[in-house]
Amino acid sequence: MHELSEAAFNEQVDRIQDLIEHAVDDCGLDLEMDHVEGSLILRLPESGRIVIGRQPASRELWVATPSRTLHFGYLPDQGWLHDGEGESLGEVLSRVLSDLTGDEVELDVDEH
C-alpha cells in the first residue's frame, strides 16, 4: 500500500470516518455512533458493535466486527482497500452491516 506521512494518514482516516458517519445516517440504520480516541464506533442494538480505528504505526485502518478484524490500506487513486481481497472499505462495510442487521445496506463511502 501507499506510504503516507502520519499527518496525511490521519487526515484520510478522519475523512473516511466522516464519510462513514454521514452514509450510516443517510441509510437510516438503527444504531448509535461515537468517536472514542480516534475510532468510530457503530453500536448495533442486537448484534454488537463495529469499531473503525486507525493504526498509525502500520498506516492501516482496522475494522473490528463481532467475529473478526479486517485491515485496510490506503491508495491515493483507489481509497481504502482490504489487504486480503482488495475490496473497497465501502463494499466490505456494507456487507458486514447487512450481515449483522439482516437488512440490505449500501454505503457510498468509496473514493472515485
Q: Which pLDDT tens digit goes with each residue over 57-106?
A: 999 999 999 999 999 999 988 899 999 888 999 999 999 999 998 889 99
The grid coordinates of residue 31 equal 444504531
In a domain, residue 20? The reply is yes
In a domain, residue 107? The reply is no
Higher local confidence (pLDDT), 24 or 46: 24
In a domain, residue 111? The reply is no
In a domain, residue 66? The reply is yes
> Mutual orientation of helices 89-101 and 6-27 as an angle, nearest 10°?
40
CATH code assigned at 82: 3.30.920.10
The neighbour count for residue 90, using CB atoms within 10 Å, is 20
In a domain, residue 29? The reply is yes
The number of folded domains in the chain is 1
**Element containing residue 81 per DSSP (H, E):** strand 79-82
